[in-house]
A = this chain, B = another copy of it.
Amino acid sequence: MIHSLTLSDVLAEHARSRPQVTAVVDGSVRLTYPELDHRVTLLASALAGQGVRGGDRVLWLGQNSHAVLELLLACSRLGAVCCPANWRQSEDELRFVLTDLTPTVVVWEPSDVTTALHAGAEAGIWVRAGEEYERLLADGSSQEFAQVADTEPALALYTAAFAGRPSAALLSSAALLAHATSLLVVRQMEPGFTFLNNGPLFHVGTMMFCLATLQIGGTNVFTPAFDAEEVCRLIDAERVTQAFLFGSMIDAVTKANAGGKYDLSSLRFVSHSAEWDSMITVDGSPWCRSKMGGYGQTEVGGMLTFLGLAEGGAGFAGRPSPLVQVRLLAPDGSEVATGETGEICARGKTLFSGYFARPDLNAGKSAYGWHHTGDLGRREPDGTITFIGPKLRMIKSGVENIYPAEVERALKSHPAVADAAVIGVPDPTWHQSVKAVVALKPDATATEDGLIEHVKTVLASYKKPRHVAFVAEIPKRGFTPDYDALDAAHGGGNYPGD
């Protein structure tokens, strides 16, 4: 255990090393590191008093709050698992989470949906955020806790709705702190870093910066949800270094600060527009220089590759974090050659510990000793990685593996194509052959032969469609083509493993 370092350990160290530093700001709440450490001890003790043991789950149903960080740290102190769930889901979706996760304690903020769930709850101890949460915490005592191994899961984030329902990715302290360290490197975070948690904490994109800020002994500022004017006010008032902002959010903040009502110069962030750049301090770290690019998913702790580690590289996903290995693998576990498409697979310090209560899925995702992301990628000749698209289906034509996402990408690069989906149809000689279903742009024209020729200019010939069907619109399931509907309508079948 001498090598173990949990989130709780990091907090205990900061309580000693940074007695005067503000750890948390949330509305009128301001806590130094010793104050946060003390509250986390009380909360862990109180949760233990409610029956929370190692491996048990504690669910947060609410907007952003410093209570999320406190619950996560208290769970880490106990060896339990904290899950901040997406509050904006439907009653049916949240009911699934409750049934799936079987939390010992639920801390909730009232909404129509959570109030209904609370009224019908048959299990778990429900604690309302705010006064009830504070009373629970006040019941705790300043006890000592047994040391917890940093390989124990501390955080659960729902993600990856493979089978129509999401699964909870379990992240250990070791993985979360390794990932946080990779952000310290690529974002060049230093003590004094102040992060505004204005994105949702149930998403790894905000959580990963919250934890990196904790790790470097900085200040986490919480706000319930994104509000452009409030973001401006908080950046000014708390001298925020970074917030969770992208494209249109940056435009909204720029607009809210028209006339320079607030001083945003403490923000060290990405260049965006002339007006934005004049308000903030454009940051020179690899993360900000490269527009925060890369490839990631919850299961790898956040980012697997960083564009900031591959400036000028050919692949727009960049190069792997210093704490992971990446391989592009074929379905048989062998490595594909440079330039060939394979599944993005990974090993390393930032990886998750599997999904909660999904043994079969976990076995498949870790085949051959590599985490399989479910996404396709390619090594460019300079070693950088290009993300191709999700590996939803695979077509087997002769001995060749063909991934629909790759062919769809080629089709969509044709000027006449509005949208495209690719399926495999039974073929007497090749087992399957490639069929494209294409929606053309209004008033655009293209022939079957013309599209097939176009794909051949971009991809190896064996990947080209042998048939093209033209449709008005590609049916969708979420963001991806509805392949089952397409197979039914266009004769798909004979997929490997069927």
Contacts and interface: CB of A to CB of B under 8 A. Distances in A.
B2 A366 contact: yes
A2 B347 contact: yes
Given A185-B185, A310-B191, A325-B12, A349 B3 contact: yes
A383 B12 CA distance: 12
Interface stretch (A16-24, A100-108, A159-167, A478-486): A16-24
B17 A384 contact: yes
Candidate in A12, A18, A381 with the most chain B CB atoms within 10 angstroms: A18
A323 interface: yes
Contacts of A310: 17, 191
Interface in A163-185: 174-175, 177, 181-182, 184-185
Interface string A1-39: 111110001101100111110000000000000000000
A435 interface: no
Contacts of A366: 2
Nearest to A175: B3
A319 B310 CA distance: 31
Interface in A289-341: 309-311, 319-320, 322-327
B369 A5 contact: no
A371 interface: yes
A323 B174 CA distance: 10
Contacts of A495: none
Interface in A375-414: 379, 381-385
B188 A188 contact: yes
A371 B320 contact: no
A196 interface: no
A117 interface: no
A153 interface: no
Contact of A185 (B20, B184, B325): B184
Contacts of A468: none
A194 interface: no
A322 B215 contact: yes
22 contacts: A1-B347, A1-B369, A2-B351, A2-B366, A2-B369, A2-B371, A3-B151, A3-B347, A5-B325, A10-B325, A12-B325, A13-B324, A17-B310, A17-B384, A19-B383, A185-B189, A185-B216, A191-B309, A191-B311, A191-B319, A215-B322, A217-B322
Nearest first, the 5 A-B pairs at minimum CB distance are A17-B383, A184-B185, A13-B325, A17-B319, A19-B383
Given A3-B347, A5-B325, 17 more contacts: A2-B351, A2-B370, A5-B323, A9-B347, A13-B325, A16-B379, A17-B385, A18-B319, A18-B383, A19-B383, A147-B369, A188-B188, A190-B309, A191-B309, A191-B311, A191-B319, A216-B322
